[in-house]
Structure 1
Amino acid sequence: MSLDVNISEPEEFNCQELHTSIEKVALIKGIKDFNYHVDTISGKGDNYIANLFRVTIKDTEDENNSVNVIVKTLINTARQETFCELHKREVNVYNKVLPMFKRIQEVINDDDRVIFPDCLLSSIEEEQEILILEDMQDKGFVMSDKVAKFESLTFHEIESILKELAKFHALSLICMKKEPDESQKLQKKYKDLMFDNRFLNKSNLRKYFVDSYEMSLKVVEDMELKKLLEQIGMKLIDLLRLYTSPKNFNVLCHGDCWVNNVLFKRTENGDRLSFLDFQALRNANPATDVLHFLFLCTNSNFRSQHLENLLDAYYESFQAFSNLFNVDASLIYPKEDFYRDIRESLPFGFLIAFIELRIVTCTAEDIDFLRGSSLSLNTLAPPNGNELFKIRINDVVREASNNGAIKNLIDETNRFSY
């Protein structure tokens, strides 16, 4: 065996642990004598939680026999303690949830199925956390580079993602009918982690959320709305927890749905998609995923023009996919209930945008803050001089004022104060 490392910062991973893990994967693939090549996978906002590598394993006796894998690690000690719970959740999703989803889909055509990467190897052992997945690039799936280029997704791309998200959500509904006992266990297990006090208390994320909110607050131009938003900020975590808590109807939500967590495959019959990054998976109302995606990946002008059509497309996909399994979604989660949940959750979409647009709108100069082992989320620099950030923040503030989201947040803030 031999190692060919092609990364700028070798300390990003524990070479011995990676070596051992790759050896196990090679054996799984029937390759006994091999060498391998390691490349970092970098992209705006991708790697501030986990180290991410693409590894090519080649059979030394047969040069045509090779396998590509994606390796995610939390080996770096500076971030390991903070994010080990997120890693454990994602490993459990790949080992428990997605296999169930794949098993249930065996009765339908391949072209209709929701696609997930296969997990080849995983570990949640302390200081040896690792997740090795098949490289979906080998199947023609690639990440969109539009966000990195500050280009807007097309209506078709937005619609395709929402329709696939609807199918992902529908799998929970189908599991409730086909495997109720196992489904119930999973719903109880996957309570929200991101805004849970115990997790926030032992990680730096509470400060990250608050700092992000305050950073956005600084660029708000409407002074009257800014004062209202200052009040809301004092109860930020309580509000986030309120909107992500289970409602009357819940599914296993992705929890971090935006374009950088989606892979695209262009085909003659349309786009095929595959979701990535399940650290934030939670049992919650599907509106939280829908609005998380829309408020990060579109602007208010786009939403004002297309929201109703996109919600219709989502629900039609949700219903049609469920019908493939003889499950009538309209009886369990009527369309009017979905629309009501969207309306009531609009404040959540605003809060997510207010927190995360600092990442989404990073300029080329800011990208370095999202790379490297020394990154601290709490010291992530503000997007100084980033006009796109200012435009998007003020854009979403005006929208939240017009649609009543800010008023609703003020009402909820006052309730917390009693």
Structure 2
Amino acid sequence: MDGQNTTDNDNCDSEDVPKWINKDYLELVLKDYFKDNLIKILDFYTKLATKKGENYASLVIRVVIEYENKNLKYNIGKYIIKSSIEDDPITKKVIKEYQAFEDEMLMYGEALPKIQELMNTQNNLQEISVFPKPIYCDFKNNAIILEDLLQRGYKGADRLKGLDEQHAKLALKKLAIFHACSIILDQQDPGCFKKFDHGIYNRHSDGLNTFFCSSLHKICTTLHNFGDEFINYSKKIRNLIPHWVEKERQCYDPKPNQLNVLAHGDFWSTNIMFKYDEFDQDDESRKPLDAILIDFQFSIWASPAIDLHYFFNTSLAGLPNIDEMENYVKYYYHELLETLKLFEFKEYSKIPNFKEFLQEFWENGFHALQTAFIHKSIAFLEDSSVACPEALFCEGDKMENFEWAMINNKRIQEHWKILLPCFERKGLFDL
């Protein structure tokens, strides 16, 4: 739901930055990270790191720090500070219900370092970055300080344009490595990731459910106006709405008879950054060299299908194509197995063959409905002026305006017209 993947924006107004982000605080962070008590900050600057439409769950600030170390050497450090939204009590309450910040700090403080440590045992993975380097986890202020990936040449993709095959495969390869490492760690310490159980849909909170169901009713009204052939789809979706939340929770529930991984949970183009050849200045044709995953607020122990359906239905360029999606599933599955082989994984009986894996993918296919209708509409939102956290969490005019801005999008509607018959053939409308 948010990330660090935009270019620099205008300087933050002072009211945009929490009071605790000051010289003394940043000096403490650097001293702790570099283990240097003589670090002295000379100056620092802050800028907003995300635009409207990219950030719904946190405040993301880019900070540039000029400092001297114990050797009096001048340095410039560039970092990202993610903190909880404090100015709206309802938004704050809902985010707390989802444990978004608690889980992300656990990810950066415990889970991701374990994954990195595991990767460091393999020569083929030692030089690979899957996620940004954590600098400091601040439980008092609900904040995480991370390296700023812009300084390493990583940039965000255009969420409205979507990802071509080269971008998509780079992202899926990194996802497969991330998932495979979680399988290995769970094998070594069974149940170590089960505490991550607060995904976007979960058994503990329902703060987003009003927005989801309200949007679905508006989508049904819109489909009804498409013409006779879509009236039936409108009825099918409307019949599903009372069961929608439970069916989504079932997709998110870990299943003992299926493959489970530590899923990213919010895997779409805004939460992936790409590195390009610095000498290739053509934005239209330049080829990506690498990808890094960001934003782990909704990570959850669940089926990898959660991440795959989310990605395919929010982030791919062009018109949706089920055959293309299944080809990408095959690519992801191959990369998953290749990573497991590096660790001489012993429990292959627990890994489904590809036919079984594809079956599991579609058994969790109800998530494709959710992501195609709701998350895709958010991803392709063109009128960013209506985008704000209150639009997701607070009933009223802001939610109403946001929903209609999502739905009254001709591009999205064309995607629905293609996907509805495909989803029906897959049995996704069945109760």
Q: What TM bracket, shorter-length normalisation?
A: 0.7 to 0.9
Gaps of 5+ in 2: 1-8, 279-286
CA distance in 2, matches of 1:330, 1:270: 33
Residues 309 and 324 (structure 1 numbering): CA distance in 2 closer, same or farther, change over 3 Å? same
Task: State yes or no: 1:357 paired with 2:376.
Answer: yes
Partner of 1:184: 191
Provide the C-alpha distance between the structure 1 equivalents of 2:115 and 2:182, rounded to a whole number of angstroms.
Answer: 8
Alpha-carbon offset, residue 13 of structure 1: 3.0
The alignment partner of 1:16 has SS state of coil
AA in 2 matched with 1:343: W
Q: Map residues 402-413 of structure 1 onto 2, 5 A cutoff.
A: 402-406=425-429, 410-411=430-431
From 17, 27, 47, the counterpart of 1:39: 47
CA positional deviation for 1:274: 1.0
DSSP 3-state at the match of 1:263? strand
Secondary structure in 1 aligned to 2:81?
Answer: strand
350-359 or 387-396: bigger deviation: 387-396
Answer yes or no: is the 8 Å Cα contact 1:75–1:129 preserved in 2.
no
What are the ranges of 5 or more consecutive residues in structure 1 without an aligned counterpart? 412-418
**Conserved 8 A contact 1:357-1:393:** no
Q: Distance in 1 between matches of 2:328 and 2:55?
A: 30
CA shift in 2, pair 1:299/1:341, >3 Å: farther
Matching of residue 101 in structure 1 with residue 119 in structure 2? no
Stretch moving more, 396-405 or 318-327: 396-405
Per-residue CA distance 1:374-418 (angstroms, 9 max, x = gap): 666443322174212322333332321233212xxx32xxxxxxx
Shift of residue 236, structure 1, vs aligned partner:
1.3
**Distance (Å, rounded) in 2 between the aligned partners of 1:121 and 1:104:** 21
Partner of 1:81: 93
User: How many matched pairs?
Assistant: 389
Measure the CA separation in 1 of the matches of 2:186 and 2:199.
Answer: 22
Q: 1:291 to 1:67 in 2, by over 3 A?
A: same
- SS at 1:279 equivalent: coil
State the shift of 1:131 in Å: 1.1
Q: How far apart, in 1, do the equivalents of 2:381 and 2:324 lie?
A: 26
Give the structure 1 partner of residue 262 of structure 2.
252
Partner residue in 1 for 2:156: 143
Partner of 1:339, secondary structure, is helix
Higher mean displacement: 374-383 or 289-298:
374-383
Tell me the residue number matched to 1:211: 214
Q: Name the counterpart of 1:168.
A: 178
C-alpha displacement of 1:199? 2.0
Report the CA distance shift for 1:332/1:49 in structure 2 as closer, same or farther (over 3 A): same
* Per-residue CA distance 1:302-333 (angstroms, 9 max, x = gap): 43342332122111100111111111574331
Q: 2:356: which partner in 1? A: 337
The superposition leaves residues 201-252 of structure 1 with CA deviations (integer Å, 9 ceiling, x where unpaired) of: xxx3121222232233232131111011101011111111011111222111
2:137/2:144 contact within 8 Å kept: yes
Aligned CA RMSD, in angstroms, stands at 2.6
The CA distance in 2 between the partners of 1:343 and 1:376, in whole Å, is 28
Q: Residues 274 and 288 of structure 2 are in contact (CA less than 8 Å); yes or no, is this contact kept in structure 1? A: no
Residue of 162, 179, 195 corresponding to 2:201: 195
| Structure with greater helix percent | 1
Identity score, percent: 22
Map of 2:30 onto structure 1: 26
Query: Which residue identity is paired with 1:391?
Result: E
Structure 1 residue 292 and structure 2 residue 307: aligned?
no
